[in-house]
Amino acid sequence: MFEYLNGKLVKISPTNIVVDLGGVGYLVSVANPYAWSSLLQTEVKIFVHQVIREDAHALYGFVNEAEKLLFLRLISVSGIGPKSALAIIAASDNEGLINAIDNSDIKYLTKFPGVGKKTAMQMVLDLAGKFEANEAVGLSLLDNDSTGNMALEEAMEALQALGYKATELKKIEKKLAQEGVMTSEAYIKAALKLMMK
């Protein structure tokens, strides 16, 4: 089992990043790949969790150990798989997530893709009261290079990869375009805030 990877970040796509470690490229699924843009072609340390299935071996990556712990707690809930857990983490409102779980706010929890009423209730049942106050985590990476419409397009691709429907995204894309030029990461965060309202 892998704990983390130290290597060169060589590629970013809407659903994952590639870390070159000793000449081997590790494909790592992350919540917000474009948050890593400012670190492209540099050495990075990424915490990982390996999921082995009959048809695939997958690596899921995290900015820090707290984000990894949140992911592990989310996938322990019946009905939440790794993809749904990444979509929940991508919202970067982990404090709000923890509060919603602790306060049985089913309406808030069902706003995440792949989380229906039954799964939201299971989250409350399994996770309420199990988070410490200091476990609220968020991405601290900055994406300074991508700008303009390209950044908005990348953000929309990443959100679709997380499971949000194209019809949902079209509604907020115009609002985001009016915000002016932002980074891909900033567009994603703004989009997630709009969708969580």
pLDDT of residue 144: 37
**Mode of pairing for the β-strands spanning 4-12 and 16-21:** antiparallel
pLDDT greater than 60 at residue 145: no
pLDDT greater than 80 at residue 166: no
More confident call, 163 vs 10: 10
Q: What is the mean pLDDT of residues 102-107?
A: 92
pLDDT exceeding 70 applies to what percent of the chain?
90
Q: How far apart are CA 182 and CA 149, in angstroms?
A: 9
Residues 41-84 have pLDDT tens digits of 999 999 999 999 899 899 999 998 888 988 999 999 999 999 99
Q: Which two tokens mark 195?
A: 């969708």
**AA identity, residue 13:** S
pLDDT of residue 92: 67
Contacts of 129 (CB under 8 A, 6+ apart): 102
More confident call, 167 vs 70: 70
pLDDT greater than 70 at residue 140: no
